[in-house]
Structure 1
Amino acid sequence: MGVSAEMYQHSLDFLFGRLNYERMGSTKYSTKDFKLGRMQALLEALGNPQSSVPTIHIAGTKGKGSTSVMIAEMLSAAGYRTGLFTSPHITQYEERILIDGKQIAPQQLVDQVSVLSQAVDQMQIDFGVGDMIPTFFELTTALAWMHFKQNEVDYAVMEVGLGGRLDSTNICEPLATVITNISYDHTALLGNTIEQITREKAGIIKAGIPVLSGVTQPEAIAVLEEVCEEKQAPLYLLNRDFFIEPVSGVGKETVLTDTGHSTEEIPQQKIRVTTPWSVVDEMPVNLLGAHQATNAGVAVALLDYLCHIGTSIEPERMREGMAGLKWPARIEVVQKNPTVIIDTAHNGASINALIKTLKECFQQQRRLLIFAATREKDVSEMLRTLLPCFDTVILTQYRSNPRRIPVDELIEIAQAIQQESGCAAEIISAASPADAWLRAKENSTSETLICVTGSFFIAAEMRELLLGATDETLITESC
């Protein structure tokens, strides 16, 4: 007998009814609000489920989600029952908690939330109604640990939500940690320099536990080396201890229409990863962009480390996992004629990676941008990079989160940039994602490239709008 819709909604209401920093501007909280003691108390009330789950812990400014799913897919393809915890979700809450690519089921969610609520009630008795009451993200992290323990996963791949040092995922005992890269984001909380941000990310490093990292800035590397030396944690760095190179002679894959005629060519990446332990060759990278090749190289190096310490993983199984990988809203092609791309880029580094990928992978001459953004982000930096690359820019606002920047503010920022730079892109205002899509259709042809970006929230709302409204013209996997 399935779970009732009422019970399911009650469980979601319990979770979303808690303090949720994903819906708050960073000016309304600080690192003092993140208390690992609160998370530790919650997990102890639940019997410390995290202690019985072998874990890979992953932090970084960008790429940590993609790297996490790559590691999980390769482990699953190798025959290991693998849990994956990521955030935020794109369409529905259950996307955050997967086992071998399958979301936590509604009945499992309801059952686990019932246990969680009892633990929260006990914490309220023990500590009162003050700042020891768990937040939305803390409850979600605990829910993931409970689900993974109950289903006896062989590995849990845990993506940090924010920073690392004070993140609720940091109550774990990992086999290895990964720090993908460092760039400027969440500076109000993590610091205004690369060194400060790196130190927050490096907070996931544990005594004696190996660290694999794609960090390349000298100042960030210096911090990692310092922390790893202090913790006596072996450090394996990209371009020093492991290396990534494209496989020569990689061609292009032709994308076909229903009638069999090619519409465009998209480069298909393959890489060779050389680690201290072996060489893994001919590794496919399904996600678009050179930055995803780097993420893949870090993921492969991590898998090769697991092989080094005794985990049985055949390279062919790793390739199978990578070849079958799908990851929504990461330079994802969701429609053809015109080509529509949705991406979650929301800081300067990820916007630069997006622009580079669009130039390398897509040939359309006319380009249209749909953009919305979140407060506390460096929107001027993002738009300064984006505006010269598009003929038409539609500025809008998402509906699902109060952290959105109103359209009028985006228009002012864009116009100021145009006055400074002389950029001639046409600027259009749209009150909602649905309105933005209508304006995009009015201003495009079958040869236009339409790109949606600026925030997880606009990516989620546009993806839901397009996939729900025009299924017959959409594809559901990345090219």
Structure 2
Amino acid sequence: MTYQDCLDYLYQQLPMYQRIGNAAFKKSLDNIIDLCEALGQPQHKFKSIHVGGTNGKGSSSHMLAAVLQEAGYKTGLYTSPHLKSFTERVKVNGQELPQDYLIRFVEQNKELFESIKPSFFEMTVALAFKYFADEQVDIAVIEVGLGGRLDSTNIITPEVSLITNIGYDHQALLGDTIVAIASEKAGIIKAGVPAVISTKQEEAEEVFILKAMKVEAPLYFATDKFRLELVEGDLERQVFQVYSNEMLYLAGLELDLTGSYQKYNLPGVLQVLALLQEKGYSIPEEALRAGLAKAKSITGLKGRWQKLNDSPLTICDTGHNEDGIKQILQQLEALQPKQVHMVFGAVNDKDITKVLQLLPKVYTYYFCQADIPRALPVADLHKQSLEVGLKGTAYTSVSEAINAAKANAAPDEVIFIGGSTFVVAEIQEL
């Protein structure tokens, strides 16, 4: 079996949320429990940090992994979905899962898959846990896939749980109120395990307090301890003064993730690291600084407010829900662009009406659809966009739309590519 044979088998045999959407989501932990039992309970053989939330969980996971790696720990990192290669999902010290490990894992466990019939995500989580156990990592950062309570990753007992921003996304599966969504995210709060909430949000706050009380978990709202002041920022880095209890905690803390929304993620990351230090982990200040200043290069993170070109300035971002798009639009506005050429696509299992209503009517749009079954057909996207007053042209592929934007944009204008993780995934320069 070649690597491509292996991927073809997985894509054909296992329902995959990335491709088909809600039909692939299993509302039960039974499959992952059965898989891991058959594999020797690998999830209990390494220390972990569990990271959930609506927006920011991927960035936060990568920042934590980068700092822990710089501190000298053999660090696993599990994230989803992937942008370019399946092996991006599972990393140890920034190195992607070896293709031959995946091949062996699938060959050895085909009968198990055919018996349990897991989803693609369930299989991938089991694979990650087994790989981290085999590699004997010191600690692994595990990002929740969707929700929390019923997410396949939720069979670990972490050192710390982290929940980032709560916003509207996947309402068909998680509920259509912030309280309902927060309740699903709060499902990763475990008995006696410290839980960190990155940002205090009025609607969600009580949900976390009640869950933490119920399971007797110490609860920390990171913004109660840490306050950030942006002192410098451009397309290459951000620099913050960090205050704790109104005293200067870290001066000139540099971050190579340049999305303005990172100001909501960084307090949670700092609080988790402080709790790990209390548990006896050695995380010197120089490791913290180096990890955050080089998080992208250490972990290979892509697609978060990433500059692709200077002339015209070309930026991509995987933000795709209301909160994510609002942050992107604020940051585009801060560039004071002469004109924005936006390459935009979406998925078909979400109501994008509110997102489309947020988009400025003065931008020039290049509508497209990613090459996955879950993509919203570009004709439907174009029609919905015209109904809210957006002006643009429909293209049958992401690459066509990007090429058209490049042809039309003047050197002093801005091209933005996004709307969906899967649109960003098809950028050739990424």
Does TM-score exceed 0.5, indicating one fold?
yes
- Does the 8 Å CA contact 1:273/1:301 hold for their aligned counterparts? no
- Distance change in 2, residues 1:113/1:358 (3 Å): same
* Residue type at the aligned position of 2:363: D
Distance, in Å, in 1 between the alignment partners of 2:113 and 2:245 is: 45
- Does the 8 Å CA contact 2:53/2:185 hold for their aligned counterparts? yes
* Residue type at the aligned position of 2:324: S
1:246 corresponds to which of 210, 219, 229: 229
Where does residue 344 of structure 1 map in the other structure? 318
- Does the 8 Å CA contact 1:141/1:169 hold for their aligned counterparts? yes
- Does the 8 Å CA contact 2:163/2:198 hold for their aligned counterparts? yes
Deviation (angstroms), 1:433: 1.3
Distance, in Å, in 1 between the alignment partners of 2:202 and 2:18 is: 31
TM-score (normalised: structure 1)? 0.85
Superposed, which structure 2 residues align to 1:180-259 within 5 Å? 180-240=164-224, 242-246=225-229, 250-251=231-232
Where does residue 290 of structure 1 map in the other structure? 260
Deviation (angstroms), 1:16: 2.0
- Does the 8 Å CA contact 2:237/2:254 hold for their aligned counterparts? no
* Residue type at the aligned position of 1:218: E
Where does residue 94 of structure 2 map in the other structure? 101
* Residue type at the aligned position of 1:234: P
Where does residue 379 of structure 1 map in the other structure? 352
- Distance change in 2, residues 1:251/1:190 (3 Å): closer
Deviation (angstroms), 1:290: 2.7
Distance, in Å, in 2 between the alignment partners of 1:245 and 1:297 is: 8
Secondary structure (helix, strand or coil) at the match of 2:136 reads: coil
Residue segments in structure 2 that go unaligned for 5+ positions in a row: none
Distance, in Å, in 2 between the alignment partners of 1:280 and 1:323 is: 13
Deviation (angstroms), 1:252: 5.1
Where does residue 16 of structure 2 map in the other structure? 20
1:439 corresponds to which of 394, 404, 427: 404
1:394 corresponds to which of 366, 386, 390: 366
- Does the 8 Å CA contact 2:161/2:194 hold for their aligned counterparts? yes
Where does residue 387 of structure 2 map in the other structure? 416
Distance, in Å, in 2 between the alignment partners of 1:162 and 1:19 is: 15
Distance, in Å, in 1 between the alignment partners of 2:355 and 2:422 is: 16
Deviation (angstroms), 1:14: 3.2
Deviation (angstroms), 1:251: 3.6
Distance, in Å, in 1 between the alignment partners of 2:226 and 2:44 is: 33
Secondary structure (helix, strand or coil) at the match of 1:56 reads: strand
Distance, in Å, in 1 between the alignment partners of 2:53 and 2:76 is: 19
Deviation (angstroms), 1:152: 0.8
Aligned residues: 425
Return 432-441 or 229-238, whichever deviates more: 432-441
Give the CA RMSD over aligned residues: 2.0
Could you list the per-position Cα deviations for residues 385-409 of structure 1 after superposition, in whole angstroms to 9, with x for gaps in the alignment? 1233x5311111111x111111221
- Does the 8 Å CA contact 1:337/1:446 hold for their aligned counterparts? yes
Distance, in Å, in 2 between the alignment partners of 1:40 and 1:376 is: 28
Could you list the per-position Cα deviations for residues 282-311 of structure 1 after superposition, in whole angstroms to 9, with x for gaps in the alignment? 321211233112212211211111001111
Deviation (angstroms), 1:231: 0.3
- Does the 8 Å CA contact 2:370/2:398 hold for their aligned counterparts? yes
Deviation (angstroms), 1:277: 12
Could you list the per-position Cα deviations for residues 318-347 of structure 1 after superposition, in whole angstroms to 9, with x for gaps in the alignment? 110111121211111111211111111110
Distance, in Å, in 1 between the alignment partners of 2:325 and 2:387 is: 19
- Distance change in 2, residues 1:317/1:148 (3 Å): same
Secondary structure (helix, strand or coil) at the match of 1:55 reads: strand
Distance, in Å, in 2 between the alignment partners of 1:207 and 1:155 is: 20
Deviation (angstroms), 1:276: 12
Could you list the per-position Cα deviations for residues 124-165 of structure 1 after superposition, in whole angstroms to 9, with x for gaps in the alignment? 2xxxxxxx4211101100111111111110001000000000
Distance, in Å, in 2 between the alignment partners of 1:70 and 1:273 is: 19
Distance, in Å, in 2 between the alignment partners of 1:450 and 1:58 is: 32
Distance, in Å, in 1 between the alignment partners of 2:60 and 2:423 is: 22
- Does the 8 Å CA contact 1:347/1:378 hold for their aligned counterparts? no
- Does the 8 Å CA contact 2:232/2:240 hold for their aligned counterparts? no
Where does residue 134 of structure 2 map in the other structure? 150
* Residue type at the aligned position of 1:443: N
Return 112-121 or 138-147, whichever deviates more: 112-121
Q: Does 1:320 align with 2:290?
A: yes
Distance, in Å, in 1 between the alignment partners of 2:107 and 2:245 is: 45
- Distance change in 2, residues 1:460/1:156 (3 Å): same
Where does residue 3 of structure 2 map in the other structure? 8
* Residue type at the aligned position of 1:178: L
| Identical aligned residues as a percent | 36
Secondary structure (helix, strand or coil) at the match of 1:58 reads: strand
- Does the 8 Å CA contact 2:237/2:255 hold for their aligned counterparts? no
Superposed, which structure 2 residues align to 1:110-149 within 5 Å? 110-120=103-113, 124=115, 132-149=116-133
Higher Rg: 1
TM-score (normalised: structure 2)? 0.94
Residue segments in structure 1 that go unaligned for 5+ positions in a row: 1-5, 125-131, 254-264, 419-424, 468-479
Distance, in Å, in 1 between the alignment partners of 2:248 and 2:310 is: 40
